[in-house]
Structure formats: structure tokens, C-alpha cells
Structure 1
């Protein structure tokens, strides 16, 4: 419809509920409708940036692909990404140099996105030394979306002091820093994260909508909107609402199961009552739920689904996710062949049995990444997909958990960054190429360029050159 247009910030509004919209043709400038075929091809969609962090490194013998450039073979750990090979940039020989000293885990985690050296402290006087890359982007373009950025995780903030190394454990719970002394809190409860994007009305009041589906609450407005837009937008609205409802149902199912398991625990029951006014049909005790429910994978996937919904609805364009905290005791025995925690097993001391378990845990992480990327790839935005219009960084702050080594980090970059990346390659750089060169490149693609970022020496070359294979030794 050429004579009717809605603004990008328009929300579907229901009885005490809000639901962000996906990108629709009706949001494009009217000038694009002069030629409807051209409008689909030329319409601009925003670039999104996600960072998925894994705390304990990888089995170094099974991470690096064979071959360089387009002619590469996925390693055993990367096999779950086989369907997405053409969407990946595997980046070899990047280093976070300023994290080389100090303790192996806290220094690497807290400074993963800042490229700095954190201040050793056993108290709450945290000082990371810089603003993280994601927050630099959020501070510049976060005003364009409902949420400047979205920080997600699985485990609650760890407190206390690790006496072995003399660092506060708070450092191991954060990768996003809005200032050199201010970590950004992450949300680990999927219902609360959902509420931030798609929030229901007054909590527990006379007209409470806390126990109703947010999709049901906005259906009347959705029907009115669909009567004013074209068939393509109508189909997209239906698909989008179905996706939101699917996440709601999964959260509700997990909540009911968790409640039943906790019903005999008076401490948890009291907490359920306290939160009931806000999330009447959901409660997840993040400190215990994953262990007691035995469904860590579902918890992770709920958070990844929420990140995808946040990007699709343009609720935010910047998000981070922590698979776990530094020195986490999360037990991965739910995987066949694994007995113990990721952290414990990462200290393998070259024991073949532990190295095999280490690989299996890494493969599980890649499977979750593949789950998210495939979902993004299935969402169309004009002639591209949501994945095409995104940059998804996966990485760890150390290569081998046994050595705490910040050289040759395991780094993947997926997506096309809105056409500014040419994936489907393994790029091998000179040894000890600054990781922060990649961050500068990503910030430029987000429209938030910087002249310098920590130890960066320039932008990472070759990211959009299909013929580029790297500038280093082919031996990774």
C-alpha cells in the first residue's frame, strides 16, 4: 500500500501490553514503492551484532580447520556448523595481548570485549580498564531501539573471592562494560528477559494481564494492522506472532515443570510468591533450575531464541550472551561420555580421556550456535535473511583451558553484516594479530567507527574480499 506508512518505532498495543514489530514493507520510505520490485532489493535493514562467549577454551587439537580461504574443511568441533559453512568466517591467530598476564580465567573473561588488563582486586572496586566493544556501539546507536543492548546469560553473578588467584569472582560474570568500572548486568531468567521486550501490564492488580499471552492481548490491534498492509507484511506478521507465541509456550512449560519440582522447598515457594505478582505463571531460580531440571540445553536455547526475537523485532541491535561464568562448576554430565564440569575438564593435563570429553563439550556449544544461526537464516528480510543482516561473534578468552593461553583464540564470525562480510572462509593471519582489530572492523560495520580500540593496529583485512585467505603462515 503506497499511501499508508507506519514509523519504525510503532508498537502493537493491547490491554496493558506492548509487542515490537518485525521489519515490514510498510516501514520503508514511500520513495521505494515507486518500483515495488526494486524496493525489495534496495530497502535497507539494520545490521545487528551478537557476541556469544564461552569461558573455558577448546580442545586445541580439534578446533582449527584444514585448509585456508574457501578451500577449508571443518574440524571435528565445528562439524555441527556444516550446513552453515558458507556463513562462517573462521579467524585464526588472533590474540588478546593485554590479558596474557595475571590469572587465567578472570582476566580473560572480564576483558574479552575490552582488550584491556583488569585491576587485581578482592573487593567490589572493579576496574576493567575500558568500555567493551558492544557498549561503545550501544552508546552511539542504542537510542534507535527500545533497548540499547540486551545482555543475556545462564548463571547468576558469582560473588566472593577466589583465594587461589586473589581476584573477586565478580570479574568472571561479565563481558559487557558500560564504563571501565561498571559491568552491565545480564539477565538469566527467560521470562524476565521476555518481559523486557514484550512486557505485560500491571502485575497482579485488578486488571492484571500477567497470566495472559502477550500475543492474545495484541491480537485485535494485529488484525487492524493487517487490514492496512500488503500480503507480504500480513504473512510476516503472522509468522512473527507465531514465533513469539512458541517462545511463550516453551517458557510456560518449563516454568510449570520447575514449579512442581520446587513445590516442597519452602525457600523456593516463598520466592515464587514474591515474584508471582510480576510473572504469575513463571518462576525460574537461575541458581538451581538448570541443575534440578536437567535441561540446561533448553535454558540456553530459550535465551538464544530471545536474542533472535530481539533482533527480528528491532527491540535491540546489540546483544551478548554468556554460556557460563569463568570457573563455573556447571556439570556437563548430561552429555553422553562426559563426567564433570567444563572448567574442570578444560584442565586436562594432556589426558586423552579428558581431551575427548573437552571436545564433546565444545561440540555441544557449536550445536547451540548452529541452532541460533539456522533460526536467523530462516527469517527473511527482503532478499536477505536476518543472518545476512547480522554479525554473530562466537569466541573464548583463551585457546586451551589447560594453558590459559590468549594466543590464537578460537574465534568465529557468522553472517554477512548487511553485505559487508564475505563468509565461507578460513582466514589465517600473522601470529598475535590483535583481536581488537576485529572489534574495530565490527564497530565500523555497525556504523559506530573508532580510530583506536585498545591495542588495535587497524581494521582486520580481508573480511569482505572473497579472494583473501589471510596474511600469515597457513600452519595454524
Structure 2
């Protein structure tokens, strides 16, 4: 309390660092806190993140042993052991509206809406409802730079899947602003970073801004602010700005090696980086525009981690409070041979036909996705906020709308929630529900914990019991 009382001024919660071509939202600082009990989190925002894993799971290796507080994590979920007390593992949920129609698309398109998509082979796609994240964004996103942030790693799928006569467009969308307006995922980290942290003006100012770190652009404003802050706030701001700088460095490093191939010697990558900078300097604006509009060819693991880091920074800076991330489009054939013991594409291995060799590889891919989820939880728990950390006031869901990829089973879908202990979630629990319990009851429960009132969603009209 002494630090707050010695403060001769208070800042608005929605404060920014500004510079030519850049606007950077600030994390929560003590100087923004009303004069209240020290450590109170009453004025901190709530965040919702939804991480989508394509192609289902190896069903016999997903479900934990036991239920309630005394459960044991399954082999696929084992990378979450250190986060066990932050988890809610939910067994028995389903989206009844996805029972109709064969294949993946009905499940993917309706994962967050609880509705049945319109069967079409054209561009007239329709989900039949608004997705849960967009309901949240209508309320939680009123005071943030972006109402919601949709991220992914693969471009929008095109063409027709003649096996089931659906347009492949459905494989790429889980967020629906309206029943007929899907929100595409941004797959380019550069563009996502700029949307979050860099303002886009016209003319020379824009070109100059494009060539600088966003932190350089706001440095004058940052120094002016630091001179006014107490030591605790100075440390918070310094940590926050360094995290922004680290993500920028990683994006620059990955962009420099686009098209260079994988597993190249460090010495060669260094030369490629030097060449890339020389070309960029000579090409100027054209190179920048080309970079912003190109399809990224990142190492898949690093691509995913950068996107999750962007989500965490977006939450930390309060640039958005609602975000979704698709590890891949459904029916993705991404080759996972970069994992030891895996030799093939994700979709093909999900159609395992109970072959032991394919099942083992399928499980390895599932566990890899869980490891990435664990990585994001690590990052969120490292960030102190109020009297806790960022994860404690966030709800981070991870799952798939398909149980077993081989059977396209939409019952008992794999779903895990992490965080939310400051919101009253019943963490450290494995809840088992009766067959037929709506997945949308979970979505309603999360909305309720976030202070968003929704009477119904899909086939659910009440929040899921047992989540807190």
C-alpha cells in the first residue's frame, strides 16, 4: 500500500505508449490501481483463449484415470503434469448438432457455435449461429484495441472434399461473427504483431515506422512514463517491454530464413540472415510489403509458439481479451516427420484403422500438441498480475470436436480448460458427465465466469455443473 500511497498521480487503466507509427497498450500497473487494498485483483480483466487441435485424438490414451481431485493424467495429457492443479479435464461432452453429416467439417464449423453448418460445395457457408468467442468479444472487447484475435498456421483451405461433398472452407474456421460471416485466422506473425502493436499511417511516417522496432517508436514516451513510476511499476514495465522485444527478435529471425529450408548449419543461417538484411535495406518498402503479404514458411513448432506468445502478449497488454488459435486446419495433412518415431501426415495417421504402428504415431502427434499447450500455460504463469498471475484470470481451453479421428466420432470430445482460479473454476479436477451432456454448457459456463450473460447456445440452456 505504501507504494500506492506515495504515488502522487494515477493513470487510466486504458493507457498507451505512443510514437510515430506505433501505439502500444500497457500492462496493468500499480499506478493504474484505484486506492484499494494492496494486492486486490478486482479491476483486472478476464481473458478467454480457445486452442483448437485438428483431427481428434487416440481415444484410449486420452482420458485420465479416476475422477474428481484424485485423478491421474493420461499418457497424452502427461506433459501437463506440472499444471495439474490448474486443470479441469472434462469427459463426456458432445455437440449434438454435429452428429449429422460425415467427415470433419460439421464438427469443425460448429465447435464453438453448437449448431449444424449448411452443407454446400460453394462459398455460401453458414454456421447457423454465432460462436462462443464472438459472444464474449461483444462484451469483453468493447474497451480493447482488438475485440478478438484469431490466429492459425495454415491458409484457408479451398476446393471441395468430394468424399463428403463439403467445401473445404469449413476446415479453416471456428470463429463466426455472425451465422454467415466466419473470421479467418491470421497465419502471418508479422501481420499479427503489427495489428497488435503497430499503428498503420500513410506516407513517409508509415515507411519509417515499418523499418523500426515498435519499442524504438515509443521509446520517448516510455522514458517519460518511467520517470514517473514507482520502482515496482518500473520493473513491470521493463519486463513487459523486454517480452515485446523478444517476440520481435524471434519474428525477425524466422522471417530472415523464409525459404531457406530446414536444419541448415548455423553458419549458413547467419549468412542468409546477413543477405536478407542487405536485400531488405536495398528493396525498402517493396520488401516490407512483400513480407507482410507472403505466406509464412516457419518451422511448425516455432510458428505455433510465436503465435501463442503473441496471444499471451495480447492478453498481458490488454490489446484483446478474447483469442483463438488453430494449430492447423481440420483434415490437415501436415507432415509430422520432425517428431521422432513419426513418419507421415497428421490426417492420414488419424485414420489409423487400429493399426498399432499408426496409433503410436497418432499418439505422439497428440502429445506434441499438448506440449505446445503446456508451453503457453508456462508463459502465462510467469507473468505476475495483481496478487496472482495472468493464467489465474484467464480461461484457456484446448481440444478438438472429434474424439477418434478414425471414426470421426463427435461424442465424448477431448477438452481441457486451464486457469481461472481467480474466477472460481474448480481446478485440479477430472469431471465425468453423463452421455449426451452438451459441450455448449461448458461454453456457457466459461462465458458466465467471464461476466458475459448468455441464455442459451446450441443445445445448451444452462452452464455446466461442476466447473466451479
Match runs of 1:342-381 below 5 Å: 342-381=346-385
> Gaps spanning 5+ residues in structure 1: where?
33-37, 264-269, 465-476
Q: Deviations over 1:267-315 (max 9, x none)?
A: xxx9x999955846956843x614xxxx110000000000000000000
CA contact (8 A) 1:47 1:418 kept: no
Q: In the alignment, which of 286, 297, 300 is matched to residue 289 of structure 1?
A: 297
Count of equivalent residues: 447
Distance 2:202 2:356 in 1: 54
Give every structure 1 segment of 4 or more consecutive aligned residues whose post-TM-superposition deviation is greater than 2 Å.
41-44, 200-207, 259-263, 272-286
Q: Deviations over 1:129-187 (max 9, x none)?
A: 00000001112231111100000000000111111111111111000000110101211
Q: Which residue in the other structure is 2:165 paired with?
A: 166
> Gaps spanning 5+ residues in structure 2: where?
1-5, 263-271, 273-278
> How far apart are 1:417 and its partner, in Å?
5.4
Q: What secondary structure, in the 3-state scheme, does the structure 1 residue paired with 2:397 have?
A: strand
Q: In the alignment, which of 15, 22, 28 is matched to residue 17 of structure 1?
A: 22
Distance 2:448 2:381 in 1: 23
Distance 1:331 1:248 in 2: 27
Q: Deviations over 1:33-54 (max 9, x none)?
A: xxxxx23135431110000001
Distance 1:181 1:15 in 2: 38
Match runs of 1:218-297 below 5 Å: 218-258=218-258, 260=260, 276-277=285-286, 279=288, 282=291, 285-286=294-295, 289-290=297-298, 295-297=299-301
Q: In the alignment, which of 421, 428, 452 is matched to residue 432 of structure 2?
A: 428
Q: Which residue in the other structure is 2:397 paired with?
A: 393
Distance 1:14 1:278 in 2: 23
> How far apart are 1:430 and its partner, in Å?
1.0
Q: What secondary structure, in the 3-state scheme, does the structure 2 residue paired with 1:49 have?
A: strand
Q: Deviations over 1:230-285 (max 9, x none)?
A: 1111100000000000000000000111165699xxxxxx9x99995584695684
Distance 1:194 1:460 in 2: 35
Moved more, 416-425 or 187-196: 416-425
Change (3 A) 1:184 1:201: closer
CA contact (8 A) 1:11 1:19 kept: yes
Q: In the alignment, which of 328, 336, 346 is matched to residue 332 of structure 1?
A: 336
Q: Which residue in the other structure is 1:35 paired with?
A: none
Q: Deviations over 1:291-343 (max 9, x none)?
A: xxxx1100000000000000000000000000111111211111111111111
> How far apart are 1:200 and its partner, in Å?
5.2
TM-score by length of 2: 0.91
Establish whether residue 453 from structure 1 lines up as the match of residue 461 from structure 2.
Answer: no
Q: What secondary structure, in the 3-state scheme, does the structure 2 residue paired with 1:289 have?
A: coil
> How far apart are 1:103 and its partner, in Å?
2.2
Q: Which residue in the other structure is 1:127 paired with?
A: 126
> How far apart are 1:215 and its partner, in Å?
1.2
Match runs of 1:409-424 below 5 Å: 409-416=413-420, 418-424=422-428
Q: Which residue in the other structure is 2:106 paired with?
A: 107
